[in-house]
Amino acid sequence: MKKETISIKVELDESNVPSKLTWRSSDHPNKKGEEEAKAFLLSIFSKDQMDTLKIDLWTKEMQVSEMDRLFYNTLKGLSETYKKATNNTNMASDMARFAQYFGEETDILPKSS
């Protein structure tokens, strides 16, 4: 059985606010070392509790426009993942439409005519 590792390091300032985030993956196609990030969103679904643990962290450097882009990309990706995982094309399309709306309203995408 093949095993891979993903690790995330969080450096905190004196107020316990993330000052630096780095991650690495044993199977990263382009890099072997750590890669710096400004934010990450992690959701883990517990087999036993049937609930989701969420960890959302971002550094003080993260700009609102970057957070908008992170959420747009996340929403778009979630709609694609949901469709692939459930084959529920109707709900996935609704999610994708919301992602499009979010992208337009945050000026990440040009507004549709």
Q: Are residues 69 and 20 in the same domain?
A: no
What lies within 8 Å, CB to CB, of 28 at 6+ separation is 35
Which domain, by its residues, includes 46? 1-60
Does the pTM surpass 0.85? The reply is yes
Per the domain annotation, does 56 fall within a domain?
Answer: yes
Q: How many domains does the chain have?
A: 2
Domain identity same for 23 and 39: yes
Query: Which pLDDT tens digit goes with each residue over 11-51?
Result: 999 999 999 999 998 887 776 788 999 999 999 999 999 99
Assess whether 55 and 68 both reside in one domain.
no
Residues 55 and 2 in one domain: yes
Hey, which bits of 1-113 come out as E strands? 6-12, 18-25, 35-37, 39-45, 52-58
Mean pLDDT of the chain: 94
Mark whether 7 and 55 lie in a shared domain: yes
Same domain, 40 and 85: no
Do 87 and 48 lie in a common domain? no
